[in-house]
């Protein structure tokens, strides 16, 4: 086992040994049927208890712990708990810099646990799912799109295509084509003549069907999915080119196909809202002082042990 793994486990054991956790640690685990394999710090463990204990540890430790027998795992835990309890008896958690370092590690662990638990327990109502589906049907549709690509040479000098246009020249050309298209020009004809994507140009600019799951840059995806059928987009800049899109068809996707996507999005929004509210559970008041906006004058970590 690496030093990093041992350090991570040591932090975990320290957290469990901190004041307020001691009584919890001393309780017997839920009585699992089976032979008692070991008694660790006065607590009896069956094979099921050990498996449960191992399953609670951080996922990043799983590869190292997976190679350990139950015996080796409990020996490691005994070693770490012994050192942690000795450190606690010597009052290290009340001495600096250990006290501050431990508090930060504990706060970070608890904050991660809170957001993880929110993700697991927050529910999204059927009403919210239906409301979002109705309000965002454009996003949850599949759109048939045609496009014209106008490449340019970025400031770095790496051209996306071979026409040698500068960014300003490409933008001017794209804007001119949009004017022609809005004036009634044939999209397929202009795509064959001007698009720098030869594959789609040969098909009159036809790019196929796109949906919310399509692997596209957000700026491109948003332009496509919100475009009404028959409309021409303004030039969309991304990745060394300008795009001009035309939506030729829209096929609404049934709710059953996008339910999981909607639920995930709404749950993520609720998690962010709850987490932001939790962030204000501790008060913070700034005093008027220029010192607040100055960078630190020395190292921000470390220091000498406290008295």
93-99 long-range contacts, CB within 8 A, separation 24+: 93/14, 93/18, 93/19, 94/306, 95/305, 95/306, 95/307, 96/303, 96/305, 96/306, 97/301, 97/302, 97/303, 97/304, 97/305, 97/306, 98/305, 98/306, 99/306
Report the C-alpha gap between 106 and 237 in whole angstroms. 45
Report the C-alpha gap between 138 and 145 in whole angstroms. 14
∠ CA 259-231-167, nearest 5°, is 100
Quote the pLDDT of residue 143.
93
- The DSSP secondary-structure symbol of 57 reads S
pLDDT digits 0-9 by tens, 80-125:
999 999 999 999 999 999 999 999 999 999 998 999 899 889 999 9
The residue to which tokens 């933008």 are assigned: 171
For the entire predicted model, the pTM comes to 0.57
- The DSSP secondary-structure symbol of 233 reads P
Q: Residue 147: pLDDT above 70?
A: yes
Report the C-alpha gap between 159 and 194 in whole angstroms. 17
Report the C-alpha gap between 220 and 149 in whole angstroms. 12
List, in order, residues 6 or more apart from 205 with CB less than 8 Å away: 146, 147, 148, 187, 188, 190, 191, 192, 195, 246
Quote the pLDDT of residue 82.
94
Report the C-alpha gap between 196 and 198 in whole angstroms. 6
For residues 219 and 171, is the Cβ–Cβ distance under 8 A?
Answer: no
pLDDT digits 0-9 by tens, 158-210:
545 556 899 999 999 999 999 999 999 999 999 999 999 999 999 999 999 99
When pLDDT is cut at 50, 70 and 90, the band that residue 9 belongs to is: low
For residues 257 and 279, is the Cβ–Cβ distance under 8 A?
Answer: no
Report how far apart, in Å, the C-alpha atoms of 87 and of each of 13, 92, 102, 238, 305 are.
Answer: 11, 6, 12, 56, 14
Q: Which CATH number fits domain 141-252: 3.30.530.20, 3.30.479.10, 3.40.190.10, 3.10.50.40?
A: 3.10.50.40
Extended beta strands in the chain, E state: 36-40, 43-46, 141-151, 206-210, 236-238, 241-252
How far does the chain reach from its first CA to its final CA, in angstroms?
34
* Residue ranges per structural domain of the chain: 3-121, 141-252
For residues 59 and 48, is the Cβ–Cβ distance under 8 A?
Answer: no
Report the C-alpha gap between 298 and 307 in whole angstroms. 21
């Amino acid at each position: 086992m690496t030093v990093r793994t041992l350090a991570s486990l040591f932090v975990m054991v320290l957290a469990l040994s901190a004041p307020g956790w001691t009584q919890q640690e001393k309780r017997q685990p839920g009585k699992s049927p089976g032979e008692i394999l070991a008694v660790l710090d006065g607590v009896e463990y069956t094979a099921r208890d050990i498996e449960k204990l191992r399953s609670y540890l951080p996922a990043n430790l799983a590869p190292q712990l997976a190679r350990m027998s139950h015996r080796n795992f409990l020996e490691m835990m005994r070693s770490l708990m012994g050192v942690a309890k000795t450190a606690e008896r010597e009052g290290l958690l009340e001495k600096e810099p250990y006290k501050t370092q431990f508090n930060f590690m504990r706060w970070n662990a608890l904050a991660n646990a809170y957001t993880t638990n929110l993700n697991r327990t927050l529910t999204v109502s059927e009403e919210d799912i239906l409301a979002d589906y109705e309000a965002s049907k454009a996003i949850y549709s599949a759109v048939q799109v045609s496009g014209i690509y106008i490449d340019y040479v970025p400031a770095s000098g790496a051209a996306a295509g071979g026409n040698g246009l500068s960014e300003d020249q490409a933008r001017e050309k794209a804007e001119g084509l949009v004017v022609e298209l809005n004036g009634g020009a044939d999209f397929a004809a202009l795509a064959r003549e001007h698009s720098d994507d030869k594959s789609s140009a040969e098909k009159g600019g036809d790019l196929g069907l796109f949906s919310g799951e399509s692997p596209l840059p957000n700026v491109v995806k948003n332009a496509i999915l919100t475009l009404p059928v028959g409309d021409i987009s303004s030039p969309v800049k991304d990745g060394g080119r300008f795009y001009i899109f035309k939506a030729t068809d829209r096929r609404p996707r049934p709710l059953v196909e996008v339910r999981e996507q909607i639920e995930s999005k709404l749950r993520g929004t609720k998690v962010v809202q709850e987490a932001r509210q939790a962030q204000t559970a501790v008060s913070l008041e700034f005093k008027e002082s220029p010192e607040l906006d100055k960078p630190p004058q020395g190292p921000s970590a470390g220091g000498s042990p406290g008295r």
